[in-house]
């Protein structure tokens, strides 16, 4: 009876020990699978984004250039397969991505992909119709611009995915802490039940969990070279291996992303150089020198401060979105400089609703319109010109904002107005013609890419000899929308 009772007690003891030992094992396996799935998806998304970004930015322009140069026949080109591969990658990521911010960026990328496909088809079509090399190169330059924007969006998407990996890593760290607490309780119970069970469980589980906790802590603090030895515990081997892979992949992706960011900053500077035309810089500096020689100290201070503020807002630390107030300050600085230069022919007024000042807008969309009004409108008429900038709600619903730049300059003939409107929609066959409205074209394309169907783009009204009115309407944004643009 006594032996039976002892045997029964031992049986209950071992069953109890087995049961409580399985608790952390099952928990760690479940958590391991969850995080493995998350990391696998992140790595898959980043890999896909890098691949289609490279195709868009490098392979497609190179393939089209070979066709233009005659190295390949149109029928032999693989541009359609490349476009299909980009579409497939985006569709796959849109189906699997549940992050709202990244989903928005992928939608912007999808629109850019649609624009890219349309331009590629347009290039092929005009080549089949016997277009000139100059025309083909102009269209290819447009395609390169679109592919560069697409690549920038993908790099921004990769950055956010890496941030998601960091958040998942934090969750893993918290899980390790919870698992450690559970293990401490189990260890305490194991001591009560059996000293032998305590030693076994401690040797088999405590050290691997502690190692994983230390690894997650090191990775969380930026030490991406840290690794963990595989513990040779079936329930923990997968988790430990994935932790090592995760740290290695994040380290590699961060290095790649840093290189891409350097390239992105170079592209930003090139874009800035395109915004601030050389003749504007030279004329501004010449004006400052002339005013200094004439000892007009106050005007030297005014124009120098305006020019400094103009450059500061143009750069805006690489941000794509600024407040309407900042955009308006940018215009005021520009007009201050131009007013000093063209005092005899230029007057301007600014009419803006003060309640709109804190809403967000894509930066540098008004200055090209104002510049166009001065150089192609007011300077081409006799006598003093008047320029007016207006910013108001589009209608009583107050869901959109209308920006208007008016001048009483030379205006467009009906024929030229029709040409300009067509160039804004499709680009110009002759690059020389497009250069006269290049600022308007860039603004219109930027509005379409960032606001999509929410804006009609630039609207031009003009009467020859009486002046022009250029306007656009955009939806109201308090916070920066999910479009790939940088936050302010």
Tell me whether residue 487 is in a domain. Answer: no
- How confident is the model at residue 402, as a pLDDT? 95
Whole-Å CA distances, 413 to 201, 263, 416, 418, 453: 88, 43, 5, 9, 29
- Are residues 262 and 280 part of one domain? no
User: Does residue 111 contact residue 94 with C-beta atoms inside 8 Å?
Assistant: no
Q: Rounded to an integer, what is the distance from CA 460 to the centroid of its chain?
A: 29
Q: 93 near 45, Cβ under 8 Å?
A: yes
For residue 297, give both structure tokens.
């100290």
User: Sign of torsion, CA 54 56 58 64?
Assistant: positive
User: What's residue 54's pLDDT?
Assistant: 87
Domain that holds residue 81: 2-267
Distance CA 369, CA 374 (A): 9
Number of structural domains the chain divides into: 2
Residue 18 · residue 225 · CB < 8 Å:
no
Residue 431's pLDDT is 44
DSSP string computed for 212-261: HHHHHHHHHTT-TT--------HHHHHHHHHHHHHHHHHHHHHHHHHHHH
Question: What tokens does 365 get?
Answer: 């969309």
Please list the pLDDT of the chain residue by residue as tens digits (488 residues).
333 333 444 456 667 767 777 777 777 777 777 777 777 888 888 888 888 888 888 888 888 888 888 788 887 878 888 888 888 888 888 887 777 777 888 888 888 888 888 888 888 888 888 888 888 888 888 888 888 888 888 888 888 888 877 777 777 777 777 777 777 777 777 677 666 545 554 555 666 677 777 877 877 777 777 777 776 655 566 777 787 788 788 878 887 776 666 554 444 444 544 555 566 776 777 777 777 777 777 778 878 887 777 777 776 665 778 899 999 998 998 888 888 888 778 889 999 999 999 999 988 889 889 988 888 888 888 778 899 999 999 998 989 999 999 999 888 888 888 888 888 877 655 444 555 677 788 888 888 878 888 888 899 999 888 899 999 999 987 666 544 444 43
165 and 94 housed in the same domain: yes
Clarify whether residues 295 and 257 are in a common domain.
no
| Bridge partners of residue 472, in order along the sequence | 403
Pair 28, 179: CB distance under 8 Å: yes
Query: The tokens of 31 are what?
Result: 């958590």
Instruction: Please give the radius of gyration of the chain, using alpha carbons only, rounded to the nearest integer.
Output: 31
**Euclidean distance between the first and the last CA atom of the chain, given in angstroms as a whole number:** 80
The rounded distance, in Å, linking the Cα atoms of 84 and 44 is 18
Residue 373 lies in a domain: yes
165: closest CA among 230, 258, 102, 233? 102
The pLDDT of residue 349 is 92
Residues 431 and 414 in one domain: yes
Extract the tokens encoding 256: 């790649």
The total number of residues shown for the chain amounts to 488
DSSP letter, residue 1:
-
Of 242, 267, 292, the last residue of a domain is: 267
Residues 164 and 224 in one domain: yes
Contact residues for 134 (Cβ-Cβ < 8 A; gap 6+): 431
State whether 294 and 222 are in the same domain.
Answer: no
Same domain, 330 and 358: yes
Q: How many angstroms separate the CA atoms of 312 and 182, rounded? A: 55
**Residue keyed to tokens 């250029």:** 470
CATH classification at residue 313: 3.30.565.10
Determine the longest span between alpha carbons in the chain, in angstroms.
Answer: 121
Domain ends where: 267, 293, 318? 267
**460 within 8 A of 468, measured Cβ to Cβ:** yes
334 and 217 share one domain: no
232, 370: one domain:
no
pLDDT at 479: 64
> What pLDDT does residue 471 have?
94
| Cβ neighbours of residue 358 closer than 8 Å, sequence gap 6 or more | 323, 324, 325, 478
Whether 151 and 38 map to the same domain: the answer is: yes
Domain end point (choices 267, 288, 306)? 267
Shared-domain flag, residues 227 and 311:
no
Question: pTM to 2 decimals?
Answer: 0.43
Centroid of chain to Cα 191: 56
């Amino acid at each position: 009876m006594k032996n039976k009772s002892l045997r029964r007690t031992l049986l209950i003891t071992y069953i109890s020990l087995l049961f409580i030992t399985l608790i952390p094992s099952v928990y760690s396996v479940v958590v391991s699978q969850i995080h493995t799935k998350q990391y696998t998806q992140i790595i898959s998304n980043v890999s896909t984004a890098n691949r289609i970004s490279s195709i868009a930015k490098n392979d497609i322009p190179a393939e089209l250039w070979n066709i233009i140069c005659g190295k390949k026949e149109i029928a032999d080109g693989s541009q359609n397969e490349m476009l299909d591969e980009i579409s497939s990658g985006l569709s796959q990521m849109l189906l699997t991505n549940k992050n709202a911010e990244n989903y928005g960026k992928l939608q912007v990328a999808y629109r850019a992909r649609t624009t890219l496909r349309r331009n590629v088809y347009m290039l092929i079509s005009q080549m089949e119709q016997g277009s000139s090399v100059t025309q083909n190169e102009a269209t290819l330059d447009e395609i390169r611009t679109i592919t560069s924007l697409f690549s920038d969006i993908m790099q921004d998407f990769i950055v956010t995915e890496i941030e998601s990996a960091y958040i998942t890593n934090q969750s893993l760290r918290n899980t390790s802490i919870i698992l450690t607490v559970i293990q401490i309780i189990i260890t305490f119970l194991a001591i009560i039940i059996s000293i032998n069970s305590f030693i076994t469980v401690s040797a088999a589980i405590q050290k691997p969990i502690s190692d994983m906790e230390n690894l997650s802590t090191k990775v969380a603090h930026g030490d991406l070279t840290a690794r963990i030895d595989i513990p040779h515990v079936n329930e923990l081997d997968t988790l430990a291996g994935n932790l090592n892979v995760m740290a290695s992949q994040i380290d590699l992706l961060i290095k790649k992303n840093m290189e891409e960011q350097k390239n992105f900053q170079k592209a930003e500077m090139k874009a800035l150089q395109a915004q601030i035309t050389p003749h504007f810089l030279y004329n501004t500096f010449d004006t400052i020198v002339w005013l200094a020689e004439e000892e007009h100290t106050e005007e030297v201070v005014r124009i120098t401060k305006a020019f400094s503020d103009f450059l500061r807002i143009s750069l805006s630390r690489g941000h794509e979105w600024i407040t309407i107030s900042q955009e308006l300050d940018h215009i005021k600085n520009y007009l201050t400089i131009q007013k000093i230069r063209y005092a005899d022919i230029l007057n301007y007024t600014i009419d803006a609703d003060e309640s709109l000042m804190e809403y967000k807008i894509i930066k540098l969309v008004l200055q090209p319109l104002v510049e166009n009004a001065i150089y192609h409108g007011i300077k081409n008429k006799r006598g003093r010109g008047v320029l007016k900038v207006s910013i108001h709600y589009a209608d009583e619903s107050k869901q959109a904002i209308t920006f208007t730049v008016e001048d009483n300059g030379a205006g467009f003939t009906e024929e030229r107005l029709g040409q300009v409107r067509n160039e804004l929609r499709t680009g110009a066959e002759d690059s020389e013609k497009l250069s006269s409205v290049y600022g308007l074209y860039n603004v219109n394309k930027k509005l379409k890419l960032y606001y999509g169907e929410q804006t009609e783009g630039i609207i031009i009204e003009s009467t020859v000899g009486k002046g022009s009115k250029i306007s656009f309407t955009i939806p109201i944004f308090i916070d920066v929308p999910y479009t790939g643009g940088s936050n302010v």
